[in-house]
Structure 1
Amino acid sequence: MTVDLLLLLTAAIWGFAFVAQRVGMSHMGPFTFNGIRFSLGALSLVPILIWQRRKNPATAGFSLKTYAVPIGLTGAVLFIASSLQQVGLMGSTAGKGGFITGLYVILVPLLALFWGQRTHIAHWTGALLAVFGLYLLSFEGGWTISPYDLVLLAGAFIWAVHVHLIAKYADPVGPVRLACMQFAVCGFLSLAAALFFEPITISEIRDGLWTLLYGSFLSVGLAYTLQVIAQRTANPTHAVIILSLEGAFAALGGWLFLHEAMAARTLLGAGLILIGTLVSQIFGIERKTTP
Structure 2
Amino acid sequence: MKGKMRNNILLMMTAFIWGSSFVAQSTGMDYIGPFTFNSVRCLMGAAVLLPVIKFLDRQKKSVRSIERGKGKRLLLGGCCCGVLLGVASSLQQVGILYTSAGKAGFITALYILIVPIIRIFLGKKAGLKIWAGVALAVVGMYFLCITKGFAIGKGDLLVCICSVVFSLHILVIDYFSPRTDSVKLSCVQFLISGVMCAVPMLLIEKPSLEEIFAAWMPLIYAGVLSCGVAYTLQIIAQKDTDPAVASLLLSLESVFAALTGWAVLGERLSAREMSGCVLVFTAIILAQLPEKGRKVREDG
Shorter-chain TM-score: which interval? over 0.9
Is contact 1:123–1:284 with CA below 8 Å preserved after alignment? Answer: no
Gaps of 5+ in 2: 296-300
**Is 1:170 matched up with 2:177?**
yes
Question: Partner of 1:239 in structure 2?
Answer: 246
Superposed counterparts of 1:75-90, under 5 Å: 75-90=82-97
Letter paired with 2:134: A
In 1, Cα distance between equivalents of 2:234 and 2:292: 21
User: Cα distance, 1:257 vs. partner?
Assistant: 0.7
Is contact 1:13–1:219 with CA below 8 Å preserved after alignment? Answer: yes
User: Cα distance, 1:283 vs. partner?
Assistant: 4.4
Runs of 4+ in 1 over 6 A off after TM superposition: none
Question: Partner of 2:148 in structure 1?
Answer: 141
In 2, Cα distance between equivalents of 1:184 and 1:199: 20
Percent sequence identity over aligned pairs: 38
| Residue-pair matches, total | 288
Is contact 1:130–1:273 with CA below 8 Å preserved after alignment? Answer: yes
Aligned mate of 1:180, from 165, 178, 187: 187
In 2, Cα distance between equivalents of 1:130 and 1:34: 28
Question: Partner of 1:216 in structure 2?
Answer: 223
In 2, Cα distance between equivalents of 1:3 and 1:70: 27
In 2, Cα distance between equivalents of 1:110 and 1:81: 18
* Cα deviations by residue, 1:195-244 (Å, 9 ceiling, x for unpaired): 12212111211221100000011111110011000000011111011100
Aligned mate of 1:59, from 44, 61, 65: 65
In 2, Cα distance between equivalents of 1:4 and 1:285: 23
**Is 1:44 matched up with 2:58?**
no
**Is 1:4 matched up with 2:8?**
yes
Could you say what secondary structure the match of 2:125 adopts? coil
User: Cα distance, 1:284 vs. partner?
Assistant: 4.4
In 2, Cα distance between equivalents of 1:6 and 1:154: 29
Q: How much is the aligned-residue C-alpha RMSD, in angstroms? A: 1.4
* Cα deviations by residue, 1:8-36 (Å, 9 ceiling, x for unpaired): 11000000000000111121111100000
Is contact 2:109–2:163 with CA below 8 Å preserved after alignment? Answer: yes
Is contact 1:53–1:60 with CA below 8 Å preserved after alignment? Answer: no
Could you say what secondary structure the match of 2:239 adopts? coil
In 2, Cα distance between equivalents of 1:64 and 1:235: 30
Could you say what secondary structure the match of 2:97 adopts? coil
